[in-house]
Structure 1
Amino acid sequence: MATVAPSHPRSPSTPPPRSRVLRVRALAALTALACTAGLGALAVTGPAAAAQRAPLSPLAVEGRGASVPFTELEAEAATTNGQVIGPDRTYTTLPSEASGRSAVRLDAAGEYVEFTLTKPANAVTLRYSVPDNTAGTGITAPVELSSGGSKLKDLDLTSKYGWFYGSYPFTNTPGDKPHHFYDETRALFGRTLPAGAKVRVTLPSTNATPWAVVDLADFEQVADPLARPAGSLSVVDYGADASGAGDSTSAFQKAVDAGAAQNKEVWIPSGTFKLTDHVVVDKVTLRGAGPWYSVLTGRSSTDRTRAAGIYGKYVQGGAYTGQIRPYEAGGPSKNVTLRDFALIGDIRERIDEDQVNALGGAMSDSTVDNVWLQHTKVGAWMDGPMDNFHLKNSRILDQSADGVNFHGGVTNSSVENTFLRNTGDDGLAMWADTRNNVKNSFTKNTVVAPILANNIAIYGGKDISVTDNVVSESLTNGGGLHVGNRYPGVSPGNGTDVSGTFTLARNTTIRAGNTDYGWPFPIGAVWFDSRDSSIDKATINVTDTDILDSSYAAIQFVSGTTKGVNFKDVNIDGTGTFALQFNDPGQSSFTGVKAKNIGFREPVYSCLGSSLNITQGAGNSGWNEKLPATYCGEWPAPVYGGGSGPTDPTDPPTDPTDPTTEPPTDPTTNLAQGKQATATSSTQVYDAGKAVDGNASTYWESQNNAFPQSLTVDLGATKAVKRLVLKLPPATDWGARTQTLSVLGSANGSSWTTVAAAKGYRFDPASGNKVTVDLPTTTSLRHLRITVTGNTGWPAGQLSELEAYGS
């Protein structure tokens, strides 16, 4: 999902020659490790108990992804006397957002996670979660960092930047669908610890820190601060306050204006500098002592739409349509270099109209190198028209929306060798909104855990390259790699729809693809969507690609017709459901596409019949043996790790807002609301999700004259269900009708038991157009199904709400 705005010239590098066979064998071995770790939640007890092996890491893929300066160690693979939670890929649970879909929970004084260093390190970045408060504003919770029994320092963890609720565009008010749980903090030790040293994270008490979940730690050896360049201008000489106490916005602006006028670099020394508004740059180099030393932060206390950011000048009439402040117009800025500093903001919510991004505006012939961007809305939202912009060798963490978005009219630009984690929307995106994006590239990046949408997404554009990237842990409403004709401004009329040659080469997806809470079907790891117009003007080449341990299908086509996609030398290893999923027509060719460890018994999903147009070359295996026959039926529950399914939480709760365990059933709580819903069929926009959205005015309707029809809801965990309330819209034009239906239940989504036999239920506007179905006994189930075999009011199954209660 693209957000709405206010959110070195060289070609992509070619990897060094290497044996594809050797790389694939290494990946297969790592995938086997992932499978051994994916058998269920593991409670680790006793002091210094050894936890499970970590699953395949996105940083372990040779020759692909970003080259990072840190060594990542997973908490579930460390020593702990806490509890390993997960693996679990269910949206709104803590394990689902964790790297590898597992983490460690500490909820008693003295519980710890202890990491053993594999290389010397003097710094750590810790990824964690702590609970929200009842106001949704977050808490500050300390933990202790120690080594060899000696305290290194106390770390203050916080939930101020996490815990969003509800459906897009989200709120900070505690309620349904909690998500975006994790945050990251970093610390220098003050000394270098040798390889083999142990670093322990301990929960000191439960008073200030009720519980903490530790996902991972990135250890690194941070170099000394960089020296000030000769002849440079220092922001301190223009009044900037390195203590962070005073507002340095004006001083920074004066310094960069002077640097541009005098053709001198502008220096940011070590320190923390408070900015309460954008600093606008043009024809200048702004550089620091390194992202661990020169830190920009801050936000206006009186105008929450103004915050720390480095912006180029806008082009009036360009892609940006918000409120342009007078001093920002007249772009694009040119010949800008930004390097060697951090911008760690204070954005705690998502408001798409606010220009509170770390980098923004338009910058042509410009480079961003070795920056650390965190706690802003978008790391870099670049508004065209602009040309020849390159962001590289950087880290983008903990954003409330996208990591990077090339928005409308960005050309010949790139993101290279950059690490992104925990973005609130697409990790890397190009959105050809009204003006075309042309000849841009995303290459050798690693994108982990976007909380919404895709790891990498291309919306429209011409001649685009996505190469040598590694992506993992997509959560909901998106997959790993995505190409689509969708979102405003992407259309044939604007000339911004997908065209030319798209190159998706040498990429790896890991645990990618997942559910979309607005659609009645899951999303593939690599997927194409032509909902706003057909994709029929481009050649899209997907080559030398590994699609590993996908949450659902590996490859998917949906919404309209997509043509001209050529798959060659694609390795599919592990899917929750299908190898290929065709929701809508596609014309594509497959050569050397090999699949194994497929989660469902039938490898290809299609209800298209002769409309499915597949051209097969040589070397395909594992999915094409039964063609042209395909599977067309209800969506199967995903199966991971060669037969191990998702784990149901079973531990007793300690906190009603804690998503690591299931709370006790409240008889007033609708267990089905907001959960994943699927149906045997839907008509137009009346999809299955409408029956669990909490709005009785929206409804699900099946195809006409095609009984039986079923609506299925995954409650997310095993629940005790005693009664159902079924509703139709209360509007007066919904006349009375009787629907004949039965209720079925399942623990695993594949074996079903009749809970309530088929009978007629009268829906009457006089009684609110709702009926209650009392189950014979309180039934424990995870999957709930209503099967409709008749309707006196309309020849289809119809429900506006399916509500499930414990009593």
Structure 2
Amino acid sequence: MRRNQRGPRLLGGSSLTALLAAGLLPLTAGGPASATTPADAPATAEPAAETRGAALPYVEYEAEDAEYQGTLLEADPERTFGHTNFATESSGRRSVRLDATGDHVTVTATAPANSLVVRNSIPDAPGGGGVEETLSLYVNDTFVEKVTLSSRHSWLYGTTDDPEGLTNTPGGDARRLFDESHLLLAETYPAGSTFRLQRDADDSAEYYVVDLIDLEEVAPPAEQPAECTSITEFGAVPDDGEDDTAALQAAVTADQNGEIDCVWIPAGQWRQEQKILTDDPESRGQFNQVGIRDVDIRGAGMWHSQLYTLTPPHEAGGINHPHEGNFGFDIDANTQIADIAIFGSGTIRGGDGGHEGGVGLNGRFGEGTRISRVWIEHANVGVWVGRDVDNIPELWGPADGLEFTDVRIRNTYADGINFTNGTRDSSVRNSSFRNTGDDALAIWANPRVADPSVDVTHGNTFANNTIQLPWRANGIAVYGGYDNTVEHNTIADTMNYPGIMLATDHDPLPFSGQTLVAGNVLHRTGGAFWGEAQEFGAITLFAATHDITGVTIRDTEIHDSTYDGIQFKSGGGAVPEATISGVTIEGSLNGAGILAHGGARGSANLTDVTISGMADGDVVVEPGSQFVINGW
């Protein structure tokens, strides 16, 4: 089957350099290209306030919109998930399967490119644990090299809705079918060049499913700043496969102690098998960690300065923390990290003995912390911001003014970034997330803080981010708190939960003040969960316990939702006086434009709301509901 190429999509993406230490890691052990740093890519303008999604330096091409020879896979109308459904887990709910020699996907570059990422699926090993296979890359009809694909980090089995119940052991239904492979090429090819991924006779996987291809022009590595001291001066050696943790920890400690001005991680592959933190002289144990503070860590670019671990956290003897893993950084305060990649080696969340995939960045974070152009992949959680107060109470303090910019998080087993434990006045901007195993972005007003009457998560902003393909839970979630803002984000293809959810499950401190959801665009979001018995809207408000107050939803587009556009879900609380204005809801395969469940309570005031193409009606209030919708 062949189709003519159409235009590329400009959603999120990711990329990985060829590993310098041959044989140490599969090519899939990486993540996305850098955003605005000159170490990796041409400068990308900051998105204008009204722009939706992140301004990213690569172009994304859907396989089904390319020229291809193969089989088109398309999702069923319910976009059924969790039963080995390749098309449901595909971007745009379509992908291309390559079965025969000569099958291929070919895209034409609309801009210069010297790197490639392919989101793909190949079969698992018969006994689990994944396999590696190759696919052939041709540029302008000339063979360039083999791209190594891996299923090591994909293929979770089971029918449970509880992610900790999934297993790496084959049997029954499967999900999390896709992963990504990345390649930095030896030369830059001009716009108009053709990139063809082809199954040749010596490419021996049973099949290859190609979902999308990202192409980007990556700049050379940045040079070492004069004020920084390289980790090589502490004994680290790039690309040799030996553990560099001791040298990396020594450099960070020297910076923290004021002995050097900043830590430089040069271009190269640097193996890290323990989390970087602060030694606790009181030895309060692995569950009571002390993070780093007053540290400046810089790299040559996300494609170039790459930390990786070969050991899955649950197999690493003597790891720092059973939950937080053996890679990345634990941060307490005033830390800057920029232009590096952190590649975990997780394969599971829970299951098989309660194993987890670790956390890339975690800790209290405090004041003065900035994270820029950091790429995290194959972690359980990309970033977990906050600690419970009972974890060394004398060190407790919330993140305050924390900033994430141009961050890329891919292929996790749980959250992308979670703001909790009183996080305030913090933000995630111009960042991209793909294939997260729980909320891609979350604000959780966790009550385990010093003073629940004061330390309420508030004043946080998620703006101009691109979120694709969460394979469990939401694109963006807000659980309690006040004066939090979700604006100008693009969210696409959630598997089983909303694109945006406001909720009071997870025992949060109550909503108060205003929660603003504005200027977002959602494509193909919502889904069925909890035994496939509960259908979630593209935007869902779930007052499970406390009321959800102060909600404003405005200037938002909802396209092609799997179920309802906006849904007020039955719960123990109410949603009083929600304001919905300037919202367009267009097309629903299986739902209504706005739906209030029979057990929902509260009210919504509609102004300038446009609804069209709904399967189950425009505005529907189920019988027995106490919810009132005004203005329709």
TM-score, scaled to structure 2: 0.82
1:139 corresponds to 2:114: no
Residue 233 of structure 1 is matched in structure 2 by 229
Compute the displacement of 1:56 (Å): 7.6
CA distance in 2, matches of 1:159, 1:332: 32
Q: Give 2:261's match in structure 1, choosing from 251, 264, 282.
A: 264
Map 1:654-665 to 2 at 5 A.
none
CA distance in 2, matches of 1:235, 1:502: 44
Q: Give 2:406's match in structure 1, choosing from 387, 390, 393.
A: 393
Residue 90 of structure 1 is matched in structure 2 by 80
Residue 333 of structure 1 is matched in structure 2 by 332
Query: What SS does the corresponding residue of 1:204 show, helix, strand or coil?
Result: coil
CA distance in 1, matches of 2:208, 2:65: 17
Residue 432 of structure 1 is matched in structure 2 by 445
> Is the alpha carbon distance of 1:301 and 1:97 closer, same or farther for their aligned partners in structure 2, counting shifts above 3 Å?
closer
Compute the displacement of 1:461 (Å): 1.5
Map 1:500-649 to 2 at 5 A.
500-518=513-531, 520-535=533-548, 538-560=549-571, 561-576=574-589, 577-583=591-597, 584-600=600-616, 602-609=617-624, 611-616=626-631, 624=632
Q: Give 2:370's match in structure 1, choosing from 367, 373, 376.
A: 367
Compute the displacement of 1:262 (Å): 2.6
Compute the displacement of 1:55 (Å): 10
CA distance in 2, matches of 1:76, 1:308: 43
- Counterpart amino acid of residue 464 in structure 1: N
Query: What SS does the corresponding residue of 2:246 show, helix, strand or coil?
Result: helix
> Is the alpha carbon distance of 1:579 and 1:145 closer, same or farther for their aligned partners in structure 2, counting shifts above 3 Å?
same
> Is the alpha carbon distance of 1:368 and 1:302 closer, same or farther for their aligned partners in structure 2, counting shifts above 3 Å?
closer
Residue 749 of structure 1 is matched in structure 2 by none
- Counterpart amino acid of residue 57 in structure 2: P
Query: What SS does the corresponding residue of 2:534 show, helix, strand or coil?
Result: coil
Query: What SS does the corresponding residue of 1:115 show, helix, strand or coil?
Result: strand
Residue 118 of structure 1 is matched in structure 2 by 110
Identity %: 32
Compute the displacement of 1:615 (Å): 2.2
- Counterpart amino acid of residue 483 in structure 1: L
Residue 57 of structure 2 is matched in structure 1 by 69
Tell me if structure 1 keeps the 8 A contact 2:357–2:381: no
> Is the alpha carbon distance of 1:407 and 1:299 closer, same or farther for their aligned partners in structure 2, counting shifts above 3 Å?
farther
Residue 349 of structure 1 is matched in structure 2 by 348
Deviation per CA, 1:390-435, whole angstroms, max 9, x where unpaired? 1111211111111111122211111110011111111111122214
CA distance in 1, matches of 2:189, 2:323: 50
Query: What SS does the corresponding residue of 1:503 show, helix, strand or coil?
Result: strand
Compute the displacement of 1:607 (Å): 2.3
Residue 729 of structure 1 is matched in structure 2 by none
Tell me if structure 2 keeps the 8 A contact 1:332–1:386: no
Query: What SS does the corresponding residue of 1:252 show, helix, strand or coil?
Result: helix
Misfit runs of 4+, over 6 Å: 54-57, 59-62, 306-309, 322-325
Q: Give 2:501's match in structure 1, choosing from 482, 496, 502.
A: 482
- Counterpart amino acid of residue 265 in structure 1: C
Deviation per CA, 1:507-566, whole angstroms, max 9, x where unpaired? 11111111114363310000101112232xx31111111111111100001132222311
Tell me if structure 2 keeps the 8 A contact 1:296–1:308: no
Query: What SS does the corresponding residue of 2:556 show, helix, strand or coil?
Result: strand
CA distance in 1, matches of 2:218, 2:414: 28
Compute the displacement of 1:83 (Å): 1.1
Map 1:183-202 to 2 at 5 A.
183-202=179-198
TM-score, scaled to structure 1: 0.65
Compute the displacement of 1:387 (Å): 1.5
CA distance in 2, matches of 1:134, 1:497: 48
- Counterpart amino acid of residue 267 in structure 1: W
Compute the displacement of 1:241 (Å): 2.1
CA distance in 2, matches of 1:115, 1:207: 20
CA distance in 1, matches of 2:70, 2:298: 43
Query: What SS does the corresponding residue of 1:100 show, helix, strand or coil?
Result: helix
Tell me if structure 1 keeps the 8 A contact 2:236–2:244: yes
Q: Mean Cα displacement is larger for which, 355-364 or 66-75?
A: 355-364
1:378 corresponds to 2:331: no
Compute the displacement of 1:87 (Å): 4.0
**Structure number, greater radius of gyration:** 1
Tell me if structure 1 keeps the 8 A contact 2:312–2:357: no
- Counterpart amino acid of residue 461 in structure 2: S
Query: Which 5+ residue runs of structure 2 have no aligned equivalent?
Result: 14-46, 278-291, 388-397, 450-455
Tell me if structure 2 keeps the 8 A contact 1:113–1:201: yes
> Is the alpha carbon distance of 1:359 and 1:165 closer, same or farther for their aligned partners in structure 2, counting shifts above 3 Å?
same
CA distance in 2, matches of 1:521, 1:288: 45
CA-based RMSD of the aligned residues comes to: 2.5
Q: Give 1:452's match in structure 2, choosing from 466, 472, 476.
A: 472
- Counterpart amino acid of residue 148 in structure 2: D
CA distance in 2, matches of 1:285, 1:334: 11
Residue 39 of structure 2 is matched in structure 1 by none
CA distance in 1, matches of 2:125, 2:133: 11
- Counterpart amino acid of residue 153 in structure 2: Y
Q: How many residues align?
A: 546
> Is the alpha carbon distance of 1:205 and 1:90 closer, same or farther for their aligned partners in structure 2, counting shifts above 3 Å?
farther
Compute the displacement of 1:206 (Å): 7.2
Deviation per CA, 1:705-725, whole angstroms, max 9, x where unpaired? xxxxxxxxxxxxxxxxxxxxx
CA distance in 2, matches of 1:376, 1:289: 22
Tell me if structure 2 keeps the 8 A contact 1:124–1:187: yes
Tell me if structure 2 keeps the 8 A contact 1:573–1:595: yes
Query: What SS does the corresponding residue of 2:550 show, helix, strand or coil?
Result: strand
CA distance in 2, matches of 1:274, 1:242: 8
Q: Mean Cα displacement is larger for which, 173-182 or 411-420?
A: 173-182
CA distance in 2, matches of 1:263, 1:451: 43
CA distance in 2, matches of 1:104, 1:150: 22
Deviation per CA, 1:644-685, whole angstroms, max 9, x where unpaired? xxxxxxxxxxxxxxxxxxxxxxxxxxxxxxxxxxxxxxxxxx
CA distance in 1, matches of 2:12, 2:313: 42
CA distance in 2, matches of 1:521, 1:604: 19
Residue 208 of structure 2 is matched in structure 1 by 212
Compute the displacement of 1:386 (Å): 2.2
Query: What SS does the corresponding residue of 2:418 show, helix, strand or coil?
Result: strand
CA distance in 2, matches of 1:277, 1:306: 10
Tell me if structure 2 keeps the 8 A contact 1:272–1:297: yes
Query: Which 5+ residue runs of structure 1 have no aligned equivalent?
Result: 1-43, 312-321, 491-495, 617-623, 625-807
Q: Give 2:91's match in structure 1, choosing from 99, 124, 131.
A: 99
Tell me if structure 2 keeps the 8 A contact 1:203–1:209: no
CA distance in 1, matches of 2:512, 2:317: 37
Q: Give 1:81's match in structure 2, choosing from 61, 69, 76.
A: 69
- Counterpart amino acid of residue 484 in structure 1: A
Q: Mean Cα displacement is larger for which, 581-590 or 214-223?
A: 581-590
CA distance in 2, matches of 1:611, 1:582: 9
Compute the displacement of 1:219 (Å): 0.4
Q: Give 1:149's match in structure 2, choosing from 141, 153, 157.
A: 141
Residue 302 of structure 2 is matched in structure 1 by 291
Tell me if structure 2 keeps the 8 A contact 1:422–1:451: yes
> Is the alpha carbon distance of 1:53 and 1:223 closer, same or farther for their aligned partners in structure 2, counting shifts above 3 Å?
closer
Tell me if structure 1 keeps the 8 A contact 2:553–2:579: yes
> Is the alpha carbon distance of 1:75 and 1:302 closer, same or farther for their aligned partners in structure 2, counting shifts above 3 Å?
closer
1:50 corresponds to 2:3: yes
Tell me: higher relative CO, structure 1 or 2? Use CA pairs within 8 A at least 6 residues apart: 2
1:245 corresponds to 2:241: yes
Residue 783 of structure 1 is matched in structure 2 by none
